[in-house]
Structure 1
Amino acid sequence: LSYCWGTVPSKLRLLYETYEQLKDGVELKMFPNSHQQAFALARSLGIRYLFIDAICIMQDNINDYSIELARFGRYIRLADVVFAATGKTAQEPLVQTEEFSESGGITGVTIQAHLEADEAHSFGLGLRVAIPTAVETLEKEVTVRGWRIQETLLAERLVIFGQEQTYWMCTRMLKSEGSSISLPVKETSLASLLGSYHHPNHLEAAGGLGIARSLSLRSLQKRWNSVVETMSRSHFTVKGDILPALMNVVKAYQELGESGWFSKGYRFGIWLGDLAQGLLWIHDPNMKATSMAKTPTVRVFNEYKEAAPSWSWVSNAAPV
């Protein structure tokens, strides 16, 4: 479950003091609304296990936190599906479209129209109020939180529960409730790009992307630049979490093999095999500075004790 904790964390978290309570079992009503609905959805899909960070990671044990963080990317990539909530707190319901549907759904009209060159034949033309696309929903409601970026990038299958409709994204297509058309994900899905690099012939035979290895490298490089831009615009509650939040995306690139620009090392958000381009980052003059937390880091990750140098975009507190 990918969700936003909110400014006030849920009382039901995995801590030393709550460990025995959680192990003995907890009434469903004790969980936040988004968790309750996620449980119900998982059960309806026949999924036995649901990973929720607040109750699956010991929140007051830095050793457990660091170990689980390193495994997090694997959890996401091997998950049957990732549920992405768009609520601002865990207490907001996961599925928020019921009230919208009861109020009449998407406002629209159907009119009769005809082509100027063929006035004898008319057809119905449906017009409706514009609603957010899946990409817009992700950008405005999900990836604004830095830790959630990896949860959407690495997922093989992602269900986004938007305010107006629900979206489905996998490595092959993107669908939404408001349209019967399936859209190709092409170069927008990191999971599909990683798959096309590993198995280009398989994907081509299956009617998928079929991106050639050289083209895959360029696409992955372009996608990385997009990840950097998105990460620099996102919010972190704890100062210094930006590199740990990026760690599992970096690992996904490193697992591609010993060839390509990603095989020559990585430091502070920049690939050494792509150093010339990686150092060309600049402030985005059209974006305001991110609301990076000003409090000192409270979670110490051994890999990231050293502060990012000034040549890295990570040291910058504004969008790039």
Structure 2
Amino acid sequence: MLDPSSSGDPYIALSYRWGPSPRLLLLSSSMDEFLLGKPIEDLPRTFQDLAVIARKFCIQYIWIDALCILQDSKEDWHIQALTMRQVYSHAAFTVAASASTDEDGGLFRRRDPSSVFPSIVRLPSCTSPITNTFRIFERDYWDRNILAGPLHKRGWVFQERHLSPRVLYFTATQIFWECFEEAKCESFPKEIPFHFSDKNLSTLWDFAEAKGVLPRNHSDNESVMPMAVYSVWRDLAKQYSHCSLTKASDKFPAFAGIAKLFQEITGDVYVAGLWQSRFLEGLDWRVTEPVSKASSEYRAPSWSWASVDGPFRPLLPGAIFEHLVELMTVTVQPDGLDPTGCIGYLTLRGSLFRARLKSELQDGYWEVEVHPGGQLGAGSKPFEVQIQFWLDYQGIDIHYGKILYFLPLNSTLKEVQFEMVAEVVFLVLNPLGKGDHLQLTCSRIGHFIITQRRTLKHFGFQEQEDGLMVLSLGQEYSTVLIK
């Protein structure tokens, strides 16, 4: 299909939730029928309502994914999925069917207009004869009306909202408006109180303006993504992880438009959900409430947050911080036509510890026998420690006698109750096949954190003058290949 942004004519894009059995789709067999024309009254209710809005704004074209992408062609789907960045960013505005669970739910609702406005309470003043007027509304007004609706839990909608310069939301009670700078609604036509839109990408635009570029492809791979820009990316990825997808394989494609936006502006290289210039920072993502994998099919390397389902927390380095691994190589190759979804291999150099699980305690704690240097032998004196594991997903088999490997990832100082506390993050690695501790092939299955200095000293850490815990000199290092 043609890229709608290439014609220069204004168009409206639709953001809506598909039903379980869509009754009208563009298929190879129905292409000729669509080209001959189809009465608007034969379309699903939401599509019909969108035509009413287009007429109201005197806009001739609309973009609806079910009617603009061949739904029985994987090749066309992959090609069109890569254009979502252009489709939504170049639309005059996007209409969001926020209150509908499927394409027949429609946009318009019957309602009592007076019920839309905030309640007004008038109370006498204690100090003057003037009566004070107060408006009562919920502080999370936006979340209750928009984000809590059925549409915005859908993974594909996330980038549709954030890429669109303007969004018109049709909720169950009123119309909302959002652009990159403001958010308004019928109840609050000037601005919604106490609401700061996470759609505000001013940090990204400011960076583009400072570089003197507009969003476009360019090469500047040697520069490091500014921490302020990386922080925006981190927040978006974190929010996206709370969304659901019908197909687990859509994890990369449904976020590809946002990735392309950052890639075009920063010139950085996108690597399976991480960025080349901030790769080591990107490895520090944590799952605290693991869920089962939606599919057993390979989707992403285990070191990428895209390999897990459910919410995760990507962490930012603190003011006093040190990486404890060295990036040797990272290799990714596209999975099919989509360059954002890939098979990847990562090689790190770091201090590796071999561990044998002994007894399970409670709340995720295990008694663990740890061997410094990652090997079992007379030259290494093992020690026992209690560790609370945070696994990346449910269903991981850990049991008595199982051998795992621990890889210190980073060390930082954090203020906890007005006291600086040293924190070291370890990756939990599951060995794949037989391997030498000096050259191990494994997959990531979780993480854990140690803050007790005494325990860290068992692992070969020592305290610096600033309080940061770092690995002692002379520590043995290994090469770790993570799939």
The bucket for the TM-score relative to the shorter chain is 0.7 to 0.9
Q: What does residue range 1-320 of structure 1 map to in structure 2 within 5 Å?
A: 1-9=14-22, 11-86=23-98, 87-96=100-109, 99-101=110-112, 105-106=115-116, 109-116=119-126, 118-127=127-136, 130=138, 133-141=141-149, 142-182=151-191, 188-199=198-209, 217-258=226-267, 263=268, 265-285=269-289, 289=291, 293-294=294-295, 307-320=299-312
Which amino acid letter does the alignment assign opposite residue 314 of structure 1? A
Alpha-carbon distance in structure 1 between the residues aligned to 2:305 and 2:211 = 36
User: CA 1:36/1:191 → structure 2, altered by over 3 Å: closer, same or farther?
Assistant: farther
Alpha-carbon distance in structure 2 between the residues aligned to 1:295 and 1:59 = 24
SS in 1 for 2:63: coil
CA contact (8 A) 1:145 1:235 kept: yes
1:186 Cα shift? 6.2
Compare relative contact order (CA 8 Å, sep 6+) and give the higher one, 1 or 2.
1
User: CA 1:27/1:271 → structure 2, altered by over 3 Å: closer, same or farther?
Assistant: same
Provide the TM-score with structure 1 as the length reference: 0.79
1:72 Cα shift? 1.5
Alpha-carbon distance in structure 2 between the residues aligned to 1:166 and 1:311 = 42
Number of positions where the alignment pairs a residue of Structure 1 with one of Structure 2 = 284
User: CA 1:188/1:64 → structure 2, altered by over 3 Å: closer, same or farther?
Assistant: same
User: CA 1:280/1:138 → structure 2, altered by over 3 Å: closer, same or farther?
Assistant: farther
1:109 Cα shift? 4.5
Which amino acid letter does the alignment assign opposite residue 162 of structure 2? L
1:74 Cα shift? 0.6
Provide the TM-score with structure 2 as the length reference: 0.54
CA contact (8 A) 1:232 1:318 kept: yes
Bigger helix share: 1
| Structure 2 portions without partners, runs of 5+ | 1-13, 213-224, 313-483
Bigger CA radius of gyration: 2
1:21 Cα shift? 1.2
Alpha-carbon distance in structure 2 between the residues aligned to 1:266 and 1:76 = 21
SS in 2 for 1:88: coil
User: CA 1:238/1:74 → structure 2, altered by over 3 Å: closer, same or farther?
Assistant: same
Q: Please report the RMSD computed on the Cα atoms of aligned residues, expressed in angstroms.
A: 2.8
Alpha-carbon distance in structure 2 between the residues aligned to 1:178 and 1:284 = 38
SS in 2 for 1:126: strand
Alpha-carbon distance in structure 1 between the residues aligned to 2:191 and 2:77 = 39
Alpha-carbon distance in structure 2 between the residues aligned to 1:140 and 1:126 = 23
| Structure 1 portions without partners, runs of 5+ | 203-215, 297-305
1:192 Cα shift? 4.0
1:95 Cα shift? 2.5
1:60 Cα shift? 0.8
Which amino acid letter does the alignment assign opposite residue 89 of structure 1? D
